[in-house]
Structure 1
């Protein structure tokens, strides 16, 4: 659904000069605190990436972000000895969404979907339809759980207790959501 607002938004890779504003945005829209080393890894490790969304008129002010890691294969370990779905335990590559957030004023316009598609393209290339994607979501984050369901992901684990140890408030338990996306 391209619109004037949609075409005004540019998605681009995180740069070192973007880190302070992106860290602030993370703190604003996510309850989990991320240390500076998290952002350094996003810039330095080839298996990780972070994209930010900006308005073309304000290209240095992030309004949304996504960070993810590419896992080439292997089994997916879960904390506490919980088991993941069989779909996650395969030799095929998969993408783990580490963080995803959109300022409230820019939500409900397809930006999170665009960010997910862009991160998949960046990590795997544009011809990777149906790649397995997974993320951890707080058990109380109903809007995120519904969003992931709309794009084809499902809850794939029991409750993972106390996953978000650095969460200063709110629920610390999470679900693993996963699915093969068609976005």
Structure 2
């Protein structure tokens, strides 16, 4: 705070005056230098007052450190969590733009998250829950209807994947890198 106030004071002075800063060795006999030396010695012996740090750190640097720590922590927690195979395949621990999901209805959020985690209206999941007699894909009939099959390689969804996600066949990384709006469009188009 003191450095900031000093900087502001110098900028105000510079608007009306020519200000030159220079280094002065101690005890050179320059007027005011002895008093400044004495005040500096007194200042070094006193405790800091207030929430300000003893050495100022730029806010932007602090913000960067916190963001980096947050990113590392999330990534480490995500990686070290056991299970979650399906979720880890399609969801990044620190994806940008996912706050857009918060603007959706509860039903749309449930649909997208369910499709990404494999715990949505997919026959593989429904069969495990005792709510379906088969896990066969209702669109192609060639494989079990899992999130992996629907997102990546169901042949009946080639055009839909291309329209919403940019390619006929995708990798899990392609899904992780998608904008949430594309994922939402794809899920809603399925009408499951």
TM exceeds 0.5? Answer: no
Greater fraction helix: 2
TM-score range, shorter chain: under 0.3
TM-score by length of 1: 0.23
Instruction: Mark the structure with the bigger radius of gyration.
Output: 2
Higher relative contact order (CA 8 A, sep 6+): 1
Greater fraction strand: 1
